[in-house]
Copies of this chain bind each other. A is one copy, B any other.
Amino acid sequence: MNQLEELKNLLAEISDLTAVGQLVSWDKETQMPKGAAATRANHMATMARLLHQKNTAPRLRELIEALEPDLKNADSLDGALLRLLRLDFDRKSKLPTDFVTEFAAARATSGSVWEASRHKNDWAAFKPHLEKMFNFARRAADFYGFDSHPYDALLWDFDPGLKTTDIKQIFADVRAFTVPLLEKIVAAGENVDYSVLTRHYPLEAQRAFGLEVAQAFGYDLNRGRLDVTAHPFATNFGKDDVRITTRFDPHYFPMAFYGTLHESGHAMYEQNTADELRRTPLARGAWSTAHESQSRLWENLVGRSSGFWQHWFAIAQKHFPEALHDLDASTMYKLVNRVKPSFIRVEADELTYNLHIMLRFELELAVFEEKIKIAELPEAWNAKMQEYLGVVPPDYSSGIMQDIHWSGAMFAYFPTYSLGNILSVQLFEKAGSQMGDLNAMFARGEYKPLLHWLTHAVLRHGKTYLPPELIERATGSSLSAKPYLGYLERKFSGIYGL
């Protein structure tokens, strides 16, 4: 066996164990009996330790070093593999195995506590675990090392190379654009009766309609499935097993529906990485900004387009004959694009969504900069909600405890949602420039050509390229908020007749 084969065998083993670890997490969220939480934390800690040992094994280092001279500049998959491995290996080697093991166990416990205490609005139960998560993350940042800000060290996991200062600049631009537009929309007043969204939408019909649309987009259920969880997510155990979750409210249509489309976007990314990347670290979507560009694209640029509802409204009426009998496609388009400041990020409209993200980003920074204590976070959350959105959540469940991310120490992830929004429009406009009028295609019920374009431009590459190169290759330019802001301006001026 030559060294490259030996390396690929090691990577296949790591890939399998990573998938199994993901499955253990998925099961915890979707299937596990409540009494198993402590046992499961042990399992997850053991898997994390084992994976860390495999990912930082001396033999792996030897093989990387032996193969690097020949391959590191090669314009081939093997070259990309060696480049990614070097980055991964160096980064992972900075964390001590015991730290990784303890972190994994604490994260599992924190997640269980969050899930149990969230619906009881029990901040006091969750607070010590959140404190631990911030402490673990801060220690991880110290192990990784950073030049100017510990947040930079954490950002690497979600968008390698991205800096805190970049995000601040982009967010300042987005905010400067959003606030006056939001004021104009609020001043314009409501032009539709939104209460129809809170009619009765039977759960089974919601599930069936959501999956029908997701499959029309291209989500392959022979290699996927939909479950119900406290917080929707997508996960995968290889490209042939990509699962999504959502949550249902029988008296609010958009929640499960757009949640399903969002997670399907993530799922289609994973289902369409190239076959030749299988069982290598390249076989994953290229970090979080690119991933969120796909989820937000299918959720918003497709699922909240006028063309989409021209095609799907009649089908939706068959699924929800009572709730939708007196509506039409153009009203539905307005309904699902209502701009209204609200508490829950994942249900926010496209305009206020980014303000939710900024709030989280700023609070995370404040904690890492030690400008705020964990005990002060709920108050700070509410103050920022008041400042940015003019509303204050009535309880922790609709406020600081709404998202799963912090319970699992996923700090520095939130910004990639807004960056994903930005990238999604760059990709969408590039696709449109090559494919013609996408909205007209959606109105004809044609979605797979767009998935095909995205697969060619982005999805198939997995982690072959770092984000800046991937974006440049796919769009011909670097990440830029301008197309996104133009899109928001056009769309909401149209809907609200500004």
Contact = CB atoms under 8 A, between A and B. Distances in A.
A20 B21 CA distance: 8
A47 to B, nearest CB: 6
Residues of A in contact with B, size category: 35 or more
A23 B12 contact: no
A40 to B, nearest CB: 7
A347 to B, nearest CB: 28
B237 A35 contact: no
Contacts of A19: 39, 43
A224 interface: yes
A203 B105 CA distance: 39
Contacts of A220: 35
A50 interface: yes
Q: Which of A38, A221, A237 has the most CB of B within 10 A?
A: A237
A190 to B, nearest CB: 42
Contact of A32 (B12, B17, B33, B241): B241
A46 B17 contact: yes
A33 B237 contact: no
Interface string A225-256: 10000000000011111010000000000000
B240 A36 contact: yes
A275 to B, nearest CB: 12
Q: Which of A32, A49, A239 has the most CB of B within 10 A?
A: A32
B43 A16 contact: yes
A222 B32 CA distance: 9
A280 to B, nearest CB: 13
Given A20-B20, A42-B16, A47-B20, A35 B240 contact: yes
Interface string A13-46: 1001101100110010001111110111011011
Copies in the complex: 2
B35 A223 contact: yes
Contact of A31 (B20, B31, B47): B31
A279 interface: yes
Interface string A209-229: 000000000001111110000
Contacts of A224: 33
A224 B223 CA distance: 27
B279 A36 contact: no
A163 to B, nearest CB: 37
Contacts of A46: 12-13, 16-17, 20
B27 A240 contact: no
A31 B243 CA distance: 10
Contacts of A221: 33
A42 to B, nearest CB: 6
A436 B239 CA distance: 59
Contacts of A32: 241
A241 B38 CA distance: 10
Nearest to A19: B43
Nearest to A13: B46
B39 A241 contact: yes
Nearest to A45: B16
A244 to B, nearest CB: 11
Q: Which of A32, A43, A50 has the most CB of B within 10 A?
A: A43
Contact of A36 (B31, B43, B47, B238): B238
Enumerate the 4 nearest inter-chain pairs by beta-carbon distance, A residue then B residue, closest first: A36-B241, A16-B46, A35-B223, A35-B222
12 contacts: A12-B42, A16-B42, A17-B47, A19-B39, A20-B43, A23-B24, A31-B31, A33-B221, A33-B241, A36-B237, A40-B237, A42-B238
Interface of A: 12-13, 16-17, 19-20, 23-24, 27, 31-36, 38-40, 42-43, 45-47, 49-50, 220-225, 237-241, 243, 279
